[in-house]
Structures are given as structure tokens and as C-alpha cells.
Amino acid sequence: MGTRRGVAVLLLAAVLLQTLLPASEAEGLVRIALKKRPVDRNSRVATSLSDREDLLGGGGANTLRSEEEGDIVSLKNYMNAQYFGEIGVGTPPQKFTVIFDTGSSNLWVPSAKCYFSIACYLHARYKAGASSTYKKNGKPAAIQYGTGSIAGYFSEDSVTVGDLVVKDQEFIEATKEPGVTFLVAKFDGILGLGFKEISVGKAVPVWYNMVEQGLISDPVFSFWLNRHADDEGEGGEIIFGGMDPKHYVGEHTYVPVTQKGYWQFDMGDVLVGGKSTGFCAGGCAAIADSGTSLLAGPTAIITEINEKIGAAGVVSQECKTIVSQYGQQILDLLLAETQPKKVCSQVGLCTFDGTRGVSAGIRSVVDDEPVKSNGLRTDPMCSACEMAVVWMQNQLAQNKTQDLILDYVNQLCNRLPSPMGESAVDCASLGSMPDIEFTIGGKKFALKPEEYILKVGEGAAAQCISGFTAMDIPPPRGPLWILGDVFMGPYHTVFDYGKLRVGFAKAA
């Protein structure tokens, strides 16, 4: 009788403890508080595409762990274009905001010894001398991304992710972050979750060490990305060792990893409005990439998709805007013999750097098209203005009338291809746009217009950008699709390292 009473007391105590504990602790989950970043209207959502083309071209699960267990890192959502969370490096932990990127495999953070890159001074910097667990390595390292590069050297220290502490983790102390790519970035560094096969310097990825050091019972991690950029709630979560059933509906569809390096798998046909495009009917390769904001695919299909949704090239559209709103002003400045290189800065579209115009609204991205040789890059409005100046100069030299010049430049705008394939759509037309379906594991995964169109701003100032962009990867690695956050937002994604498979289920 006493034993039963004792058991009852223990059970009652357990229930009370379960009630009093915060939900995260009661579930055995570790949750990190989320902060929202204000929307930066100068940053273009469409330019957050991770350009994996250079890397791809060169080479450079039974039952998962209990769904109520795992280490969770909350993710911040920046305009539905970047998701990033917090980690610690060293003892005591020095905090850094990083992008958790399944499309790369190294961890890097800015170093306190980064003296000559302005970007380093605007972000948290790792101080080796302040850590009791620091170990010198010194091996040089460099990583080239689409829009920028970092260079530095390897060091070793403890890395804290959630409540997990990974010991003796090899990472890169970045001592050089040239150009503007990381200057205005909303993150300090990148934590790669890809395979060791693509790790620079053959460094063992953080994820591998989590498994090898026995910090998680099953080698599984999962992503939930909250696509409501203005939501006061969470930006998302990455869970190491499990997944949260509150974040998905139904069962996951799993497909095997076909080539280690990226999380690559086979994908079937792509349908537009229920009709087959035929291009991938015989199969295409795809990768799930949390470091890519948009969804990239072969030009042949992306062009068909963009035609169906009425998309126009961003550069072409903004070129026309330049002509209609600034054309006469640009002409007047050229007729007044203003130095051509200074015209666009005088109309407020570029910032003059002494030699040429530089965008006044530099884009914040991780991976993008290659950085220009001078480390600078411009946004579409600045680029379109500079091209319009050149065209008008040529026409003025031919003594053409102002009306003919403006008409001629407007015609040239129609012929401009977008350098990244990014495209604008009419925000009022979302209701008439088709669903786009991707066949994975024999099941169709549909994206609705409100899921594949990225909206910036509200009211009359709103801009809508197609979440699809063209990228042609040649055989044998291609044709290849890169399913970035545009896809991983609507579909909860599980990365099962133990079973070498990727799983998708409708996000809740």
C-alpha cells in the first residue's frame, strides 16, 4: 500500500513538474529565443539566390529519433530571403549569427585579426585569446562564393549549437572579407551542413562531429522555415537529432541521396498548371539547399514557368522605369555636358565612387553571381541607368532627336536579359497564376502562387518577384534543380545522414 502511495506521489510530482516547466524543457527540446530583423527596403529579395553553379561545375531512415527529443536552434527570417540562427564559439561561448547552409560544409566566422576588411568591424569577431579551449591550427583557407569570398586560417575550439557543445571543432577564422557582400549581411558567418566531400581543407563538418562525439542519438536534422516574414512569431527552427511534429502535416516522402557532397537526389517531372513540361519526365537531379533563397532550374522550364505567370525580367522592367521616370533628366544632364560617369549619381540611382556609379542599395546575399573584379556590384536600377547613359550618348553623337532617343532606349530595354534570371510579376495577378508541381519520390509537391512569389513592401509600393530563376548545369552533373527556401518553406525538410536520404512533408 505504501509502495503504491509512493508511486502515486511520484507520478503526481512528475505531472506537476511537467506543468510547471516551460514547454521546451518539458518536451526535452532546447529552444533559443528568436528576434525579428526589420525589413531593409534597400535589399532586393530576388538577389538572395545562392549561385551554386561554380561549385557544381568544378567539384570544388528507419524510424527517426523520438520526435519529442532533439536540440533546436531557432532561425531568424529576413524578408523570406535569409534564415539565420545563433551559435557560440569558444569557452565561454562567443556568440555569432550564422546561416545554416546545407549547400556548403565549412564553419567560418570573422576573426579579431581581420584588420583590413570593413565587414569584419560590423560583425561579431572571434577572439582566440578569450577562449580557454582554443587550439592553434594555422592552416590557410579560402572559400569563393558566388558574390564574394572569405580567406583566413583554420583554428580549433568548442562550438555551442543549442545546448550541444562540439569539442575541438575545426573552423575558419576569416581575416579577409573583401567587397560589399558581407558588409551589409544580416549574419556573421556560415555553418555548413553539407557532406565532408565538399569541405574546404577537408575539415570535418560540425554536423559530423555532433554524431561522432555522441551528442545526438540518431544522425538526423530537420528544417522548418516560417515564410511569414512579418509574423511576430518564429522565423523557423533547425532541429538536430529529430523533428517537431507541430511543424508538419502527414508523413514525409523520402528519397535516397544519389551523390554525396550536396544533399542531391533524383526528381521527376515538373508540371505547370497540371500540365507536364516534359523536360524532367525522364528524371532530373535536384539538391535541397537551405542556403539558397530562390528555386533554380533549367532555363527551358524556368522560361516556361515565368511565361505562364506573366513574369518580366527585372532588369528589363527597371530599365523601362529609368526611361519613363529619369530619361529626360538624364538627357538634360548629358546635354549640359555632365561627366557621363556622374549622371546616375546625380539623379540619385547610384553612389559615385570616384570612377563609376555604385548601387546606393547594395544587396545582402551569401551566394549570387560572381563578384566583379573591383569587388563592387550594382543593383538593377543603377545598372540600367548606366546602360541608358551609354545608349543616349551614342544617339546624341548621331544627332538624333530627344523623342527618338527615348524611344530607342525603351526598345533596347525589351531586349535586356536579366543577369540572374530574376523576374518581376504583377502583384494583382496572383489569383490567376498556376500551381507549379515537382515530382519527388513518385509524389507531386505543389507550390501555390503565394508560395513561389516573394512580395516586398505593401500597397502601391509593393513589388512581387518570381521565386524561380534559371541556372543551367551541364551533364553529367546536370540538368539540376536547386530547391532553396522557396521550396523548403512550404515543405518541412528532413536530412537523414544515417539513412542517406532526404524527406519532405507539408509544413504546418
Catalytic residues: 101, 289
Joined grid coordinates for residue 303: 522560361
The dihedral region occupied by 438, where left means phi > 0, alpha psi between -120 and 50, and beta the remainder, is: beta
Question: Which residues have a Cβ under 8 Å from the Cβ of 426 and sit 6 or more positions away?
Answer: 310, 464
Cα(28)–Cα(195) distance, integer angstroms: 28
Q: Taking Cα atoms as reference points, which of 444, 454, 449 lies closest to residue 506?
A: 444
Rg (CA), the chain: 25
Do you know the residue count of the chain?
A: 508
Cβ neighbours of 354 (radius 10 Å): 6
Q: Are 488 and 222 in contact (CB under 8 A)?
A: no
Joined grid coordinates for residue 97: 549569427
Joined grid coordinates for residue 58: 568544378
Cα(141)–Cα(145) distance, integer angstroms: 13
Question: Which residues have a Cβ under 8 Å from the Cβ of 19 and sit 6 or more positions away?
Answer: none
Bridge-based pairing of strands 149-161 and 135-144 is antiparallel
Q: Are 153 and 138 in contact (CB under 8 A)?
A: yes
Q: Taking Cα atoms as reference points, which of 55, 224, 88 lies closest to residue 166?
A: 88
Question: Which residues have a Cβ under 8 Å from the Cβ of 485 and sit 6 or more positions away?
Answer: 80, 81, 83, 225, 290, 292, 293, 294
